[in-house]
Amino acid sequence: MSGAANPVMPSDITINADPEKLAEFESRIADGVLIEPGDWMPDEYRAMMLRMAEHHANSEIIGALPEGEWITRAPSMLRKLALTAKVQDEVGHGQMLYRVSQELGKSRDDMLRDLVTGKTKYHNCFNYPCPTWADIAMVQWLIDGAAIMNQKTLADGAYGPYVRTMNRINMEEAFHFKSGEDMVLTLMSGTKGQKTMTQQAFDRWWPISLMFFGPEDKPNAEELPPMKWRMKVERNDSLRQRFVNRFAPAAIDLGLKINIVTKDEKGFVTSTKPDEAIKLDDSTGNWSFTEPDWDEFWRVIRGNGPCNAHRVALRRLSYEQGAWVRRAIANEEVAVPPAA
Amino acid sequence: MTMQTMLTDPLAAMLLAAADDLLMLGHVQSDWTGLAPILEEDIAASAMAQDDLSHALVIYEFLGGEHDLDPDTIAFDRNLEDYRCCDLVTVPDDFDWSISLCKRWLVASYSKLGFDRFATIEGDIGQRCARLRDEAAIHVAHLNNWIIRLGTGSQESNDRLQQAINKLIPEAGMLFEPPDAGLEQDESFCCGRQEIFEEWVDQNIATLSQANLQGTFTLPDREAVGGRRGIHADHFVEQFEEMTEVRRTEPSAAW
Amino acid sequence: MSKIRETFINFDADLPSPTPDHRQWVVYTCKRAGAPYKWAGYLEAPDTELALQYAREHYGLDEACIGIICHDHTDGTDGPYGLEPLLPGEAHGDDGDCWTVFTLVHRGGNHQTAGNVKAPDADTALQRATSAFADGKIRSIRVVKSDRIYMTNDDESPIWPTHDMTYKLAKGYSKNVRAKWARFRDERTYEQYRKEDISKHF
């Protein structure tokens, strides 16, 4: 599963920077100039960038867990290889994003410790279960599709090290999305059982995909730090609309039904009814849709989702189980001759 | 019919033994993706698991071509007793990196020697295996490095590796079990069995001694029957059932 | 191990004691003979040997490449990142050690190898590199002492595997995806959807 930047970044902050320097910094950003590590930046910018990059890194690391559960059960050699590579990519993205965060002032070990003790967060969408193989297809198609849309905009951000990392990551996300699309197409071309399983997984993941981009921004979002400093460049609602415009017609063409669902506390669907709002408005070119359950969103983000405790616990187990390896190689030096 | 001809072909038996080892080793190791002790090593171990799976697939594709079978059918749809992997590859690691590492190290060094020999076969499969040999050598180098690193890293890590070696060594000799298909008495391929065993032991001992670790390897009798002749441990069966869980739900479906 | 993935564990003890971060390495890959080495990413490793192995198993397998180099992050010295392209200077000389020069065209872009200069120290190397390589396009320069740069495959062993790797590339799926969409959409609708894929999202 792909990570994504924090959908609910704090926007009400007090900035204590030198007004002249701040004005120059902001005018540079407004001119589209990217910020590099040696440049002056307000402390608040550094703190927010760290928080954003760390949250993104955490999301990659935790995002490896739900899909990781299905690697050993992948039903063909191609799927087995692809899913392993995909989950491996998430770990690689986490590793790169932790490096961006380190440069902003926090050690990797501290970040991992804060993650496994629940002091820091990761993307909400990883707190939901993947009970069937079709969930893996949906995650790669919908969630990675959403992540690409989001990360493409993040690559237009203003912080150089994050931007170059995002460009690198997006190259790999294209594989994740295409592999997911191929899986969904295969399942929807398959047996009755496969189609049923896919519709059920779609019912679980459609509302999570809508929530992926986060709640509606404040009316003056463009004047508040996250957007003014180009940490994010597009409103959550606008990204969500683009997502629906692309995926609603694709789902319909594949024979999937877009439903409004209710779920139990384990994340399983308890009832469905067709989303009557789904239709194309010819005048705007936009597809209308029913908003997801934002109460659920806040409940899950506060730690009460179906899998929050389980995800963190497994990552913590990994941290504890591997401690002896990290201790053994700490400070060790093995010399090899330099290249000619 | 075609499956039967493959299973009774002596060369196919040797190739399947090699490929099934890599399939199951890669299968078990791929499960660690996202959970290994260090992010960088997580990525590296996962890359090696993908290589193992890919190498198995190269062999299945070759056999599929020879015997008119789908490579996925060979990989997933045989009867349990027709898998020829050594049970060492599915020994549970219980989320213990020392078991995972030592197991991969023992199998990789064996597997590399296998590819060295397969590479001498004339024709297509020889050429395919010659290409895989170099990648197998990279695995061996990486794993040797880690055995030495952790063997000499701290008393704690040395103890853990020694315990893992002690646990795995009794199973490891069964890597040299001749698969059936008329190979039980064959001295030519599997292949100077004694000779490969000695080569493998020499390499292992060299690494172990650099790592301040001990191990005594013994070659089981030819008659000792295990995974290569289809008599599998329970842990193989569990892994196999997990591996085919989704596939078995819709046997005729494409995935 | 998968059973452990599904088991819920409760922790009450403290975390194991912290371990310090390892050395940080910067990795560059080369796609084809004669092409520059371009920035690929970072990694952490306690020493050169492991850094090279990690670089191979991660960045060497992201896309086809024929060579990988890396250096300790602290061995790199970056000049200022200019708002405008750098102006060439007048610093010249051929005394001192050999330094490898990396140039950056755009802020937020990727450094790539440009050549070498000789200099007694990093600051002089930066000045001489600016004289030699500032061509009106580059905005920043990084110098690294050449003997502090390590190469993955100086033994010429392969990096990109010989077996099929298309399972981890988007293009490995394109043909199948197109064929499968044909069951659901006409060619024109699919083509429009695919183009949007590329222009807007990928």
Residue C30: strand pairing partners: C67
Residue range B151-160: mean pLDDT, rounded? 95
DSSP assignment of B191-216? TSHHHHHHHHHHHHHHHHHHTT----
Neighbours of chain A (3+ CB pairs under 8 A): B, C
In a domain, residue A238? The reply is yes
Mean pLDDT of chain B: 93
Nearest to B255 among A71, A75, A92 (CB): A75
Domain boundaries, chain B: 2-249
pLDDT per position as a tens digit, A12-54 = 778 888 999 999 999 999 998 999 988 999 999 999 999 999 9
C107 touches chain A (CB under 8 A): yes
Start-to-end CA distance of chain B, whole Å, equals 25
The b/e string for C1-17 (b: 16+ C-beta within 10 A; e otherwise) is bbebbeeeeeeeeeeee
Pick from A88, A172, A181 the residue to mutate for testing the C interface (most C CBs within 10 Å): A181
C188 touches chain A (CB under 8 A): no
Distance CA B46, CA A125 (A): 24
Residue of higher predicted confidence among B85 and B134: B85
Nearest to A108 among C15, C44, C183 (CB): C44
Tokens read off for B50: 């993908």
**Which of the four pLDDT bands, split at 50, 70 and 90, describes residue C8?**
confident
Distance CA A240, CA A244 (A): 6
Which positions 134-163 of C are in contact with A (Cβ < 8 Å)? 140, 147-151, 154
**Which of the four pLDDT bands, split at 50, 70 and 90, describes residue C154?**
low
The b/e string for B98-112 (b: 16+ C-beta within 10 A; e otherwise) is bbbbbbbbbbbbbbb
Kindly tell me if the per-residue pLDDT of B128 is higher than 70. Answer: yes
Helix %, strand %, coil % for chain B, to 5?
70, 0, 30
- Residue whose C-alpha is closest to residue C119's, from C142, C93, C90, C141: C93
Contact A168 C40 (CB under 8 A): yes
Distance CA B246, CA A133 (A): 7
What pLDDT sits at residue C159? Answer: 83
pLDDT per position as a tens digit, B18-43 = 999 999 999 999 999 999 999 999 99
Looking at CA atoms only, how far is residue B73 from chain A in angstroms? 9
B19 touches chain A (CB under 8 A): no
Contact C173 A332 (CB under 8 A): no
Enclosing domain of residue A35: 19-322
Nearest to B50 among A74, A81, A108 (CB): A81
What pLDDT sits at residue A38? Answer: 83
**Which of the four pLDDT bands, split at 50, 70 and 90, describes residue A332?**
low
**Which of the four pLDDT bands, split at 50, 70 and 90, describes residue A336?**
very low
B147 touches chain A (CB under 8 A): no
What pLDDT sits at residue B143? Answer: 97
What pLDDT sits at residue C149? Answer: 97
Mean pLDDT of chain A: 92
Could you tell me the CATH superfamily of domain B2-249?
A: Ferritin, core subunit, four-helix bundle (1.20.1260.10)
Residue range B175-183: mean pLDDT, rounded? 80
Judge if the upstream peptide bond of residue C65 is cis by omega within 30 degrees of 0: no
All residues of chain C having their beta carbon less than 8 Å from the beta carbon of residue B50 are 168
**Which range has the worst mean pLDDT, A143-147, A244-248, A276-280, B191-195?**
B191-195
Residue C117: strand pairing partners: C99
What pLDDT sits at residue C180? Answer: 94
- State how many domains chain A has: 1
- CA distances (Å), origin A91, targets A98, A117, A241, A324, B154: 10, 19, 29, 20, 27
**Which range has the worst mean pLDDT, A87-101, A117-131, B176-190, C51-65?**
B176-190
CB of C27 within 8 A of CB of C70?
yes
CB of A162 within 8 A of CB of A49?
yes
- CA distances (Å), origin A17, targets A21, A44, A52, A284, C81: 7, 8, 20, 42, 22
Contact C20 A82 (CB under 8 A): no
Which positions 127-156 of A are in contact with C (Cβ < 8 Å)? 145, 148-149, 152
Contact A336 C150 (CB under 8 A): yes
What pLDDT sits at residue B9? Answer: 87
Task: For residue B123, give the 3-state DSSP assignment.
Answer: coil
The b/e string for A236-254 (b: 16+ C-beta within 10 A; e otherwise) is beebbbbbbbbbbbbbebb
What pLDDT sits at residue B186? Answer: 60
Distance CA A64, CA A168 (A): 18
What pLDDT sits at residue B244? Answer: 97
Q: Assign residue A212 the CATH number of its domain.
A: 1.20.1260.10
What is the interface size between B and C, counted as CB pairs within 8 Å?
A: 66
Contact A77 B57 (CB under 8 A): yes
Tell me what ipTM this predicted complex has: 0.96
What pLDDT sits at residue A335? Answer: 41
Nearest to B33 among A68, A77, A332 (CB): A68
Say which DSSP state C85 is in: P
Nearest to C57 among B44, B132, B134 (CB): B44
Distance CA C82, CA A314 (A): 45
What pLDDT sits at residue C195? Answer: 79
